A and B are shown apart, each in its own frame.
Chain A
């Protein structure tokens, strides 16, 4: 354990990872240690159960949704590089990005953070948040504390406000517009202290 040359050597494609995610090598080192701390059976990859062992995550109402975000396309295991790529979405937005004309949008841009949040709602990935999907998320966040009627009325009201083209669902464009003034850069970012 430890952030020295030997640790960095164990990570595949380190340079690519640094380029893609924007994390520094010492941050990647720390994430590597964390990955292995979570991987109690030393499999070299994490499954859902490893995430569920994190107490703070298990008590988070959206815990299961967040865990699902790490296992796209029905996979059951995640390796370190993918782990880092997903966490990279929460990197603070770069203040002065070097804008090359044909460069792809960085993983942690405002738009990509919004896309990520959108996907937490839109489970069937049809590009729209339907009333049902919104109901599901609300039920997760509120548990048994509210009645079915209250949930319905909240859902209806929310869709009414955000829906601009009248299809009774929220598209990504409408989602983005609705969150236009929210300080995403700060609220969807995790800052490393060292």
Chain B
């Protein structure tokens, strides 16, 4: 028994040394040994092979291969006016504007039924569907049993992911987070000086790099010359809490958020000792002017790190960008927009907070193949004189959506939990009434 215990111990120590030597240390200094690259190449080859087999298999079963579209029904793109005018065509009477037709009802009922089958808002809070299966059970939406070989590869995949990758990643994450807490606390003991700032940035970067390895994250940064500068505000689309790790791998940011309890609270308290982050108590968050004032003070100090804000306010499934809350755009200062787009083939990064809590989400992340994403730094934007905060927010949102290839929606992400306001219904009624009685009722 004792021998067995000794063997297990020494095996564990060897394992830990390997992990530290091959992964942690190079990660801390930003060097890559190429292990991840090899892994990714093998993975891509395997997935391509699997795709071909599935396509061959489905051809035999005569299933149509379709393009990835963001919806399941065909929608007419016309405006209300165009659609209703179309409906009225074929009437023997001449068109007079300012009339009601019985056929007008078809427009509203069709729109209503379309929204029952599929609506833009609910759609954006479920994971994106894949064109072809990526050998993860969780994304098995429409793919049936194809062949024995695929099933064998799938079983192999499960073993590798759960027995090899998961423990490895959990180890790395633990090392990364502990080092963050310890390192930040140590740096916090130093008096305020340039050395302290430099050390704090170093500690943060190292830990986020280790955490990124802990997720097998392959990140491609584009347009690094537009990287956010001190005293600015960095704004990005939000898909999951991992966004923070992704962005912080390439620069240091001041985080903004609510004070939490538990593990997250410990991390928060530790890192705020090393450099100024902005943490709010739950009660303070309700007071919008207080929040704006604190952020404004932070931004005004040009030596402080850029603030990282996610204006959507909630996690969206990375196929679209939802309404940006105007609060972040009222602070002033330079806005640095960033677009983040995940590649869904390797792992679904979206955090569906209604379905999974944080722990099960992290386990899902750590048992995916990898996290592959692109980050684009967009040129900075400033609010123009005549622009309102809302217009500015929409301008930034459009730029981010365009760069990331995401759909630009005006729906509020908060509709995940709340009901929609009646004002939108009134807008529709207004447009329709213009058609019936004309502008400025006679």
- Residues of A at the B interface (CB closer than 8 Å) are 1-5, 26, 30-31, 34, 37-38, 51-63, 66, 87, 90, 116-117, 120-121, 137-138, 141-147, 150, 154, 157-158, 162, 170, 175, 178-179, 181-184, 187-194
Tell yes or no: B356 within 8 A of A by CB: no
Q: Does B82 contact A (CB under 8 A)?
A: no
A5 near B105 with CB under 8 A, answer no
Least CB distance, B160 to chain A, in whole angstroms: 23
Q: Are the C-beta atoms of B105 and A146 separated by less than 8 Å?
A: no
A55 touches B109 (CB 8 A): no
Known contacts: A142-B429, A194-B72. The answer to whether A137 contacts B105 by CB under 8 A is yes
A2-B141, A37-B126, A137-B105 are known contacts. Are A66 and B113 too (CB-CB below 8 A)? yes
- Tell me the residues in window 335-361 of chain B with beta carbons closer than 8 Å to chain A beta carbons: none
Determine chain A's interface SS by DSSP, over half rule: helix
Partner of B66, one of A120, A157, A158, A194: A194
User: Is the Cβ of A142 less than 8 Å from the Cβ of B433?
Assistant: yes
Q: How far is the CA of A34 from the CA of B117 in the complex (A)?
A: 7
CB pair B100–A158 under 8 Å, yes or no, is yes
Q: How far is the CA of A61 from the CA of B112 in the complex (A)?
A: 9
Stretch among B151-159, B172-180, B385-393, B417-425 lining the A interface: B417-425
Query: Residues of A contacting B142 with CB < 8 Å?
Result: 2-4, 26
Q: Which of A34, A54, A59, A187 contacts B106 (CB 8 A)?
A: A187
Q: Is B425's CB under 8 angstroms from A143's CB? A: yes
| Tier of interface size on chain B | 35 or more
Contacting pair A58 B420 (CB below 8 A):
yes
Interface of B is mostly: helix
Interface: B107 (CB within 8 A) = yes
Is B408's CB within 8 Å of the partner chain A? no
> Nearest Cβ in chain A — how far from B266, in angstroms?
34
In the complex, what distance in Å separates the CA atom of A184 from the CA atom of B119?
23
Q: Would you list which residues of chain B between 390 and 415 have a CB under 8 Å from chain A?
A: 411, 415
B310 within 8 A of A: no
| A187 and B86 form a contact (CB under 8 A) | yes
Given contacts A56-B119, A162-B102, contact A187 B424 (CB under 8 A): no
In chain B, residues 96-115, which have Cβ atoms closer than 8 Å to a Cβ of chain A? 99-115
Contacts A5-B144, A121-B105: A59 and B425 contacting too (C-beta < 8 A)? Answer: yes
Residues in A neighbouring B31, C-beta threshold 8 A: none
CA distance A60 to B107 in the complex (A): 10
**How far is it, in angstroms, between the C-alpha of A122 and the C-alpha of B407 when the chains are bound?**
39
User: B122 at the A/B interface (Cβ < 8 Å)?
Assistant: yes
In the bound complex, residues from chain A placing their C-beta under 8 Å from that of B38 are none
Closest to A181 in B: B90
Instruction: Using A62-B109, A154-B436 as known contacts, say yes or no to A190 and B140 having CB atoms under 8 A apart.
Output: no
Chain A neighbourhood of B426, CB < 8 A? 143-145
Nearest to A5 among chain B residues (CB) is: B144
Known: A121-B102, A154-B99, A158-B102. 14 other contacts (CB 8 A): A1-B141, A34-B117, A52-B419, A54-B119, A54-B122, A55-B119, A55-B411, A57-B119, A60-B112, A87-B117, A145-B430, A145-B432, A188-B106, A193-B66
Return the 9 tightest CB-CB contacts between A and B, nearest first.
Answer: A181-B90, A56-B115, A143-B429, A145-B433, A66-B112, A59-B424, A191-B74, A55-B420, A62-B108
Partner among A141, A147, A175, A183 whose Cβ is within 8 Å of the Cβ of B108? A141
Instruction: Output the least CB separation between A167 and chain B (Å).
Output: 17
